[in-house]
């Protein structure tokens, strides 16, 4: 054992990756639907650090890991974040979550005066109860000690398991009736024009009468399929290829136009053929569909876009992302040209622009280093909170000139999960010795304090979501998940409410609540003092 201990203490990078591997093994253990996931890496790191005190990797590694995590979050959720701030529903969600987070913060600060808990330990419990590694880093950076890590590690388990149990109890109490929505899959209908009131109209005028969720992808006339030109004047027996993700809307459109004529268009592909391509080229990624300029001589239309597991209508303001699968209607002779135009590379959807990441992260760090005067508080730098805010702005812009700020979803997930794992492993190993020296005396009381802080966060947020703002249950559980922060909680919320609203609620408030938690820690340190 002494040889193993010596090996770990002389090879810190080896120790780091052993911690990561063992942490994920422990995190896979599932007890009645509750598992620690990546959070287990912290506990394995504490155990290894306590046993081999000199095995900690450099602190810069942990900071780099957290930077990657926050930057990836900001880039992915930028658009949803700003939509949340500009909509009434989003504002209510952010207010409810902010009140819950601030309420939990006040409870943690009260422990300093009521029970003599150290400020660093209290703020660590605040971070652990809210499973916020970013606010833990802020407490560690400002207080220059590892007391925050001790509080974080003791309260973190209930920070993960507590919200899951709370949501389970809340669902049992309310008994919401939530039906799983049908998967959005593009449906088509070939409709022969029989309605005299529509004959003689321009196609553009006809489209204005359709619901927004219905599109005309092609027209067949005189035995030839053709693109849906807006100035085309409709004639009797024209066959229109209508598309929608809602079958009911297609039935409504059919009754408006005339009658179904299945097979009239899809069985004849000499003029127009269907082609699906991956969006992986910088010529198209980050651009709205209205701004795409197809190669000269190519007559092409976009029938639909599939992102993830859902089909999307090709609205003119839809912005393409890496990995989108785009359905085209184009003559077969131009298939090769259009593949080259869109990129059509699965490999390309997993590539990153390291220039964009470097510029974006450097800009965020620069903004975070600027001291800002806050009345009553003094001058503060926002550090990684500013980096997250810059990343959110870049995620909203998506591209600027040659810089494509977004990245493929799969690459984003890998990058930020790897960063979070490295941060947890480094912090755990470095804090292990102090943790075991402290937890034997304060562990039980700290666990109780962590439960109280987490319950304050959950109860306040749920009360405002469900009973004051009267949000739907499926949206409310997403907001509660975002306020607590851990993805495992969101996964459980999705099982309780199998709609897309938990994800929407989470995305609208998770970035802003991360910033609120970081700022609360920083302001508390300045006002109360270290």
Residue 275: strand, helix, or coil:
strand
Q: What percent of the chain has pLDDT over 70?
A: 95
The pLDDT of residue 125 is 94
Contacts of 100 by beta carbon, 8 Å cutoff, 6+ apart:
456, 457, 458, 459, 460, 461, 462, 464, 483
pLDDT tens profile 412-457: 888 888 988 898 889 889 888 877 777 777 767 888 999 999 999 9
Within a domain: 523: no
State CA 497 to chain mean position distance: 18
Q: Beta partners for 300?
A: 330
CB 20 within 8 A of CB 429: no
Of 349, 341, 271, 284, whose CA–CA distance to 318 is shortest?
284
Within a domain: 90: no
CB 54 within 8 A of CB 9: yes
Within a domain: 40: no
For residue 329, what is the enclosing H or E element? Answer: strand 325-330
pLDDT tens profile 196-254: 888 889 998 988 888 878 889 899 998 889 999 889 999 988 999 999 888 888 888 88
pLDDT band at 350 (very low <50, low <70, confident <90, very high): low
197: domain CATH number is: 3.30.70.1450
Within a domain: 285: yes
The pLDDT of residue 345 is 86
Token pair belonging to 272: 């127009």
Return the biggest CA–CA distance within the chain.
Answer: 91
CA triple 173-177-182, angle to 5 deg: 145
pLDDT tens profile 461-501: 999 999 999 999 999 999 999 999 877 788 788 878 888 78
Q: What is the rounded distance in angstroms from the CA atom of residue 468 to the CA atom of residue 465?
A: 6
Within a domain: 504: no
**What is the number of structural domains in the chain?**
1
pLDDT tens profile 84-114: 778 899 999 999 999 999 999 999 999 999 9
| Average predicted confidence (pLDDT) for the chain | 86
The pLDDT of residue 377 is 58
The pLDDT of residue 36 is 66
The pLDDT of residue 34 is 57
Domain that holds residue 191: 187-348
Q: What is the rounded distance in angstroms from the CA atom of residue 329 to the CA atom of residue 48?
A: 59
pLDDT band at 366 (very low <50, low <70, confident <90, very high): very high
Within a domain: 251: yes
Within 222-334, residue ranges assigned H as helices are 247-257
Q: What is the rounded distance in angstroms from the CA atom of residue 389 to the CA atom of residue 518?
A: 12
Within a domain: 319: yes
Within a domain: 279: yes
């Amino acid at each position: 054992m002494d040889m193993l201990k010596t090996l770990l203490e002389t090879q810190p990078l080896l120790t780091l990756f052993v911690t990561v591997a063992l942490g994920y093994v422990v995190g896979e253990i599932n007890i009645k639907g509750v598992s620690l996931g990546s959070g287990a890496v912290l506990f394995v790191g504490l155990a290894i650090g306590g046993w081999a005190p000199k095995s900690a990797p450099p602190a810069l590694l942990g900071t780099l890991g957290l930077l990657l995590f926050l930057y990836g979050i900001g880039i992915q959720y930028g658009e949803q974040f700003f939509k949340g701030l500009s909509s009434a529903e989003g504002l209510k969600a952010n207010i409810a979550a902010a009140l819950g987070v601030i309420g939990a913060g006040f409870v943690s600060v009260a422990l300093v005066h009521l029970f003599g808990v150290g400020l660093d330990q209290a703020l660590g419990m605040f971070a652990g109860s809210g499973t916020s590694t970013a606010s833990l880093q802020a407490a560690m950076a400002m207080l220059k000690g590892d007391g925050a890590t001790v509080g974080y590690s003791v309260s973190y388990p209930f920070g993960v398991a507590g919200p899951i149990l709370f949501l389970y109890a809340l669902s049992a109490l309310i008994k919401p009736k939530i039906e799983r929505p049908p998967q959005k899959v593009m449906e088509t209908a070939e409709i022969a024009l029989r309605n005299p009131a529509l004959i003689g109209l321009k196609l553009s005028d006809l489209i204005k009468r359709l619901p927004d969720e219905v599109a005309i992808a092609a027209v067949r006339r005189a035995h030839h399929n053709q693109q849906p030109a807006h100035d085309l004047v409709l004639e009797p027996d024209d066959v229109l290829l209508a598309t929608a993700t809602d079958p009911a809307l297609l039935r409504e459109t059919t009754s408006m136009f005339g009658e179904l004529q299945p097979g009239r268009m899809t069985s004849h592909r000499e003029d127009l053929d269907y082609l699906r391509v991956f969006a992986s080229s910088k010529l198209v990624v980050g651009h709205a569909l209205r701004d795409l300029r197809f190669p000269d001589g190519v007559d092409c239309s976009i029938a639909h876009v599939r992102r993830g597991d859902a089909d999307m209508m090709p609205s003119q303001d839809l912005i393409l992302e890496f990995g989108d699968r785009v359905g085209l209607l184009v003559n077969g002779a131009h298939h090769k040209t259009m593949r080259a135009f869109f990129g059509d590379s699965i490999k390309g959807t997993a590539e990153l622009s390291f220039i964009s990441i470097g510029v974006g992260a450097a800009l965020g760090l620069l903004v975070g280093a600027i001291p800002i005067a806050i009345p009553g508080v003094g001058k503060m730098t926002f550090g990684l909170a500013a980096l997250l805010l810059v990343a959110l702005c870049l995620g909203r812009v998506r591209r600027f000139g040659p810089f494509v700020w977004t990245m493929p979803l799969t690459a984003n997930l890998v990058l930020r999960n790897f960063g979070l794992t490295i941060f947890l492993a480094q912090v755990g190993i470095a804090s292990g010795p102090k943790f075991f020296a402290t937890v034997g005396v304060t562990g039980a009381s700290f666990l109780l304090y962590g439960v109280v802080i987490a319950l304050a966060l959950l109860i306040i947020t749920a009360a405002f979501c469900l009973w004051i703002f009267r949000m739907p249950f499926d949206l409310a559980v997403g907001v509660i998940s975002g306020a607590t922060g851990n993805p495992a909680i969101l996964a459980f919320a999705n099982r309780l409410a199998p709609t897309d609203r938990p994800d929407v609620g989470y995305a609208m408030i998770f970035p802003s609540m991360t910033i609120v938690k970081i700022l609360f820690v920083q302001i508390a340190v300045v006002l109360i003092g270290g």
